[in-house]
Amino acid sequence: MLLLFCASLSAQNLTGTVTTQAGQALENVNIYNLNNGKHTHTNANGSFVLSSVAVSDSIAFSRLGFATQHLVVNKRNGINISLAEASTSLDQVLLTSEVNSLSSVVAVDLKLNPVKSSQEILRKVPGLFIGQHAGGGKAEQIFLRGFDVDHGTDVAISVDGMPVNMVSHAHGQGYADLHFVIPETIDNIDFGKGAYYADKGNFNTAGYVDLRLKESLDASSLSLEAGQFNTSRLTGMFSLIDEQNHSAYLASEMYLTDGPFESPQDFNRINVLGKYTYTDANKDKITLTASHFQSKWDASGQIPQRAVDQGLISRFGAIDDTEGGQTSRSNLTLQHLKNLEHNAVLKTNAYLSKYDFELYSNFTFFLEDPINGDQIKQKEERFIAGLQSTYERKHIALGETRLDYQAGVGFRYDNIDDVSLSHTLNRQTVLEPLALGDVDELNAFAFLNTEFKTGKFTFNPAVRLDYFKFDYYNKLTETYDNQSESKVAFSPKFNTVFAPSQNWQLFLKTGIGFHSNDTRVVVANGGEEILPAAYSADLGTIIKPMPRLALNATLWTLFLDQEFVYVGDAGIVEPSGKTRRMGVEAGARYQLNDWLYVFADANYTHARSTEEADGEDNIPLAPKFTSAGGLSVDNLSGFSGSLGYRWLGDRAANEDNSIVAEGYFVTDFNLNYTIENWTLGVIVENLLDTSWNETQFATESRLFNEPAPVEEIHFTPGTPFYLRGKITYRF
């Protein structure tokens, strides 16, 4: 009797594979039963199992960038579907009970309007704003969900699974420099907000961003860009192998600019990346990626508002124009995908990185040293090794419920030599070493992510366990001083998603995340309270009232535990206290026709410290209101382009809101025309030539010969009207 029952269940399954027309397996194809609402996705080798399928049911196969295909079932086993490439369209996105559907919806933005510079990459995430304040070579300052993330403290950033955030960094914890990514190599930007994802660990509090790079190129290309401020950029994309089982390409970039500042930035950046992929007859896959990046620049830094008001300098002038730095990063990653029995795959990702960093800054000018000035140097040399291996199995039948799960283990090891802070003069003379030491930091982890799909619900309980080992050797002490601490973080998650139809999704997400503190904080604080937890919840919906219209709205809250922060600019430890953030997010995307697409996102956040009195509980620089949007044109008689805006509202620059960081509204524009193998383009940043401040801080400083220090806004001016031309040849 039991065998007959199991056989009848098996007979109701629809099984098969989905490939491109070239025969390559397609992962994450959405397979939806239009008769009963059951759905599934293909795994890494393109295979799928769809339960509760009857003969004559109508099944839809959809994936972004491919024409949706429908199948009327006449057999249930060995179905082979081939999808044809098509122009990206919102009607290719179905809203099933997947945990992170918004990332799939927003992927349309990237496909229709690709990023044109490394600064644009993170801006593709709705609600995420960035600011540059050190000459273009330093990692951007990040703002998301009421967080001034600094350079990455509360957003986990990775590229093809390799972490970008730097632990115990010379400049700041979580420092995430994405300038080693060549924009033309990006295939997709996967993101999630909140701490709800078991495979994302350290720094995943406000959210995560994972860039996925292309496995192959459609064509080789050469591109030259030139414009104002002595700017030029040369990019080469070369397809070396393009066969069914092998693919390889080489990408390179050289970027030069002086910027709009009176003291030329003399900025230069070189990027080289090579990627090789081999797929065998069993659809097992090996991908090897190697890249090298190096950059050098001068900077005008952050200038005080009073110096501009008094006519001492212009908005693009400098108090100390000897700021700047240099950095490099070399990466080697190996990804292996092994197909196993029972619709299971084993994914392994290993990486090595060699990283160097040197930065000269002067935030307070002559406050501490009225003779030589307050310039500082931050420097480090780093080696990173890591591995993550994940066993993934889908389509396990538990009666009417289907179980998918992923179980993973891994580690990351950082060896940081001579991480230092020094008082310097004119970027040449070391006046006083302030901090110097070696850091060794190990993070070992394991996670289990399960998804129970029953009817139109998905229940997603998950858990993650992280172990940290911190070691610091202080080289400025006369005797041997090696300190060591260890800590464990336990991070449970539980998400519920309900999809009444293929055009409507509701979700409730809950989870605990964390970010680690700098090793120097850990040992200074005796290992206590050094993995502050973030408790977060999201309640929201995504709806498509029309095939080419998508709307989303979310209410969310996040509570962050006590933490101790190592201030790399001063070499001191400061407690920051507990904080609570609550917010609302809304977005809309509408594809009016095949060539015109519009979108907008808006976010409001109330962020406060919970341990301070009313009126003194503002979180400095926490954004309250942000919005971004625009329209894009794609393939209109050879023309394509976009017009976009970024809007950041006023916000408190200090705890009592007595100093305000002014907001801005900036528009950007680009237009391209393609004829045969040639594309001619124009890029304009700040189309309306708005005077705006890209980054702002409430800082106490003293100018030369000033009798007393002054606390006020110090800022880096935003780019003025900035015109560039671009020509691309494909072959």
- pLDDT score, position 3: 39
Q: Residue 6 pLDDT more than 60?
A: no
Domain boundary residue, one of 86, 120, 135 = 86
What's the whole-number mean pLDDT along residues 527-536?
88
Q: By the 8 A CB rule, do 318 and 263 touch?
A: yes
Indicate the average pLDDT of the chain.
Answer: 92
> Which range in 88-97, 414-423, 520-529 is most confidently predicted, on average pLDDT?
414-423
Amino acid 695: pLDDT: 93
- Pull the structure tokens for residue 658: 């007595």
The verdict on 217 and 330 lying in the same domain is: yes
Tell me, what's the pLDDT at 605? 98
Look at residues 650, 682, 689, 683 and name the one whose alpha carbon lies nearest to residue 666: 689
Residues 6+ apart with CB under 8 A from 469: 440, 441, 442, 484, 485, 486
298-330 pLDDT per residue, tens: 999 999 999 999 999 999 999 999 999 999 999
Confidence of residue 474 (pLDDT cuts 50, 70, 90): very high
With contact defined as beta carbons under 8 Å apart, do 94 and 502 qualify?
yes
50 or 187: which carries more pLDDT confidence? Answer: 187
Predicted local confidence at residue 7, as pLDDT: 39
Query: 42: which 2 tokens?
Result: 């293909």
List the end-to-end C-alpha distance of the chain, in Å, as a whole number.
64
- pLDDT > 50? residue 9: no
Do 199 and 326 share a domain, yes or no? yes
Total domain count, the chain:
2
User: What mean pLDDT is predicted for residues 373-399?
Assistant: 95
Provide, for the chain, the percentages of residues in helix, strand and coil under a 3-state DSSP scheme, each rounded to the nearest 5. Answer: 5, 60, 35
The CATH code of the domain that includes 665 is 2.40.170.20
Rounded distance between C-alpha atoms, residue 64 and residue 85, angstroms? 9
- The model's confidence at residue 49, banded by pLDDT at 50, 70 and 90, is confident
Determine the length of the chain.
731
CB-based contacts of 233: which residues, under 8 Å, 6+ apart?
223, 224, 225, 226, 253, 254, 255, 256
532 Cα distance to chain centroid: 21
Q: What is the pLDDT of residue 8?
A: 41
Examine the domain organization and report whether 78 and 223 are in the same domain.
no
433/557 same-domain check? yes
Q: Is residue 115 part of a domain?
A: no
Residues 40-66 have a mean pLDDT of: 86
Instruction: Please report the sign of the dihedral spanned by the C-alpha atoms of residue 517, residue 518, residue 521, residue 526.
Output: positive
**CB contact set of 178 (below 8 Å; sequence gap of 6+):** 118, 121, 122, 139, 140, 157, 159, 164, 211
> pLDDT, tens digit, for every residue of 135-148?
778 999 999 999 99
- Name the band, by pLDDT with cuts 50, 70 and 90, for residue 568: low
Q: Are 114 and 244 in contact (CB under 8 A)?
A: no
Domain membership of residue 699 (yes or no) is: yes
Mean pLDDT, residues 91-120 taken together: 86
Backbone angles phi, psi at 133, to 5 degrees: -140, 30
460 sits in which H/E element: strand 457-474
pLDDT in tens, 409-427: 999 999 999 999 999 999 9
Q: Contact 139/175 with Cβ under 8 angstroms?
A: yes
pLDDT at position 566: 66
- 515-528 residues labelled b (16+ CB within 10 A) or e (exposed): bbbbbbbbbbbebe
DSSP state of 611: S
* Strand order across the 129-131 sheet: 129-131, 141-144, 147-150
> pTM for this structure?
0.94
Could you say which DSSP state residue 517 is in?
Answer: P
**Structural domain for 79, as ranges:** 12-86
Q: Say whether 89 sits in a helix, a strand or coil.
A: coil
Residues 73 and 203 in one domain: no
pLDDT value for 181: 96
498 falls within a domain: yes
Domain boundary among 86, 108, 126: 86
Sign of the torsion angle spanned by Cα atoms 132, 133, 138, 142? negative
Residues near 181 by beta carbon (within 8 Å), at least 6 away in sequence:
118, 121, 159, 211, 213, 271
Residue 61 belongs to a domain? yes
Same domain membership, residue 582 and residue 707: yes
**519 phi, psi to nearest 5 deg:** -55, -35
**In this model, does residue 634 exceed pLDDT 80?**
yes
With a cut of 70, say whether residue 345 has pLDDT above it: yes
Query: How confident is the model at residue 481, as a pLDDT?
Result: 80
Say which residue, 5 or 214, is predicted with more confidence.
Answer: 214
CATH number, position 28 = 2.60.40.1120
Q: Which residues, including other chains, have CB under 8 Å from residue 682's CB and lie 6 or more apart?
A: 669, 670, 671, 672, 723, 724, 725, 726
The Cα 139–Cα 363 span in angstroms is 17
- Residue 482 in any domain: the answer is yes
Judgement on whether residues 270 and 400 belong to the same structural domain of the protein:
yes
- Is 230 domain-assigned? yes
- Do 378 and 420 form a contact (C-beta atoms < 8 A)? yes
User: Are both 52 and 195 inside the same structural domain?
Assistant: no
Q: Are 203 and 223 in contact (CB under 8 A)?
A: no
What does DSSP assign to residue 152? T
Confidence of residue 573 (pLDDT cuts 50, 70, 90): low
In a domain, 141, yes or no: no
Is 92 domain-assigned? no
Q: What is the mean pLDDT of residues 273-282?
A: 94
Tell me the β-bridge partners of 95.
503
Chosen domain end from 86, 108, 124: 86
Q: 282: burial class by Cβ within 10 Å (0-12, 13-18, 19+)?
A: exposed
Q: Are 31 and 51 spatial neighbours (Cβ–Cβ below 8 Å)?
A: no
Helices (H), 22-171: 101-112
Residue 633 and residue 683: Cα distance in Å, rounded? 14
Tens-place pLDDT, residues 683-706: 999 999 999 999 999 999 999 989
Residues 638-654: pLDDT tens digits? 999 999 999 999 999 99
pLDDT score of 625 more than 50: yes
Amino acid letter, residue 602: A
The DSSP output letter for 95 is B
Rounded Cα distance between 110 and 591, Å, is: 14
